[in-house]
Amino acid sequence: MSKRKFGVSTHLYHGQRLGRDHLMEIAAYGFEAVELFATRTHFDYHNPAAIADLQEWLADAGLELHGIHAPVSESFVGGRWGPALSLASVDRDRRAQAVGEAERALHIARRIPVGVFVTHLGVPRAQQPPPGDNNRDAARRSVEELQQIAEPLGVRLAVEVIPNDLSRVGSLVHFVEEDLDGVDVGICLDFGHAHMDGDLVDAIETVSGHLIATHVHDNRGRADEHLVPFDGTIDWPGVMTAVQKVGYDGTLLLELATHGSPKATLVRAQQARARMERLLTT
């Protein structure tokens, strides 16, 4: 069997306040790691007591904090997103707010070891960003500021493939290689986002030199559904072969939405993991 770690994002419980039982549930289905989705209505990363609780819950569950997803919104309540936080905003105050919130979330790593900090550059096309936003220069300044905070904490920054022109696969590779020349920043390949934008196997090969994190989920190619792998139209045998071919041996992090209930979703996620492991050993 594959020795690769599999994790689950707390995105699965995004509409709830994160608690110990959620992490125990993830561990009960055999997963080794979690990524914290940092939205204050889900987990108040401003609160030192909440961070202390998280450390205790992780220890109780035997889970590693693989990563933190930088805040992308001020809130998520009742299935609705609050105002967006954009690291690529041309508005100085909006960009400063997004950087400030990301910095507060990064400070979790002062207390709990964290491998990666995943950031969005700008907002997805579907959110209809204001004209001139999703700005490459603003994104570069934000990432450089956050990298200076992350590096002394032993955290690597990973910019995520998302559905906008700044963060498509080829554009993101150019951003890391050219705009961030000499800055140690990697890429988080979101499988579902890349699948919506083209060929996921090609995407894996394109980002391979910078691939340090993954968001693993499925869709039918049109909407960002965050389905359990094998429930959409992604070619998982081809994808697992490509993952091996490029030598990525890091955590495969499932970023799922609740379809049914979290527990039912985890049951199917556990089954999908077993199928992916078989593909990785054939």
For residue 175, which amino acid is it?
Answer: F
In this prediction, residue 1 has a pLDDT band, given cuts at 50, 70 and 90, of very low
* pLDDT of 131 strictly over 90: no
- Non-local CB neighbours of 69 within 8 Å, separated by 6+ positions: 9, 11, 35, 36, 37, 38, 118
In this prediction, residue 264 has a pLDDT band, given cuts at 50, 70 and 90, of very high
* pLDDT of 110 strictly over 60: yes
Tell me the pLDDT tens digit for each residue of 150-186: 999 999 999 999 999 999 999 999 999 999 988 999 9
Distance between CA atoms of residues 22 and 31, nearest Å? 12
Distance between CA atoms of residues 202 and 100, nearest Å? 35
**CATH number, span 6-280:** 3.20.20.150
For the chain, domain boundaries: 6-280
Query: pLDDT at position 2, please?
Result: 47
pTM of the model: 0.97
Tell me the pLDDT tens digit for each residue of 190-231: 999 999 999 999 999 999 999 999 999 999 999 999 999 999
Query: pLDDT at position 231, please?
Result: 98
In this prediction, residue 57 has a pLDDT band, given cuts at 50, 70 and 90, of very high
- Non-local CB neighbours of 146 within 8 Å, separated by 6+ positions: 70, 87, 99, 102, 103, 106, 117, 119, 157
* pLDDT of 41 strictly over 80: yes
Distance between CA atoms of residues 237 and 277, nearest Å? 11
Query: pLDDT at position 230, please?
Result: 98
Which H, E and C letters describe 69-138, residue by residue? ECCCECCEECCEECCECCCCCCCHHHHHHHHHHHHHHHHHHHCCCCCEEEECCCCCHHHCCCCCCCCHHH
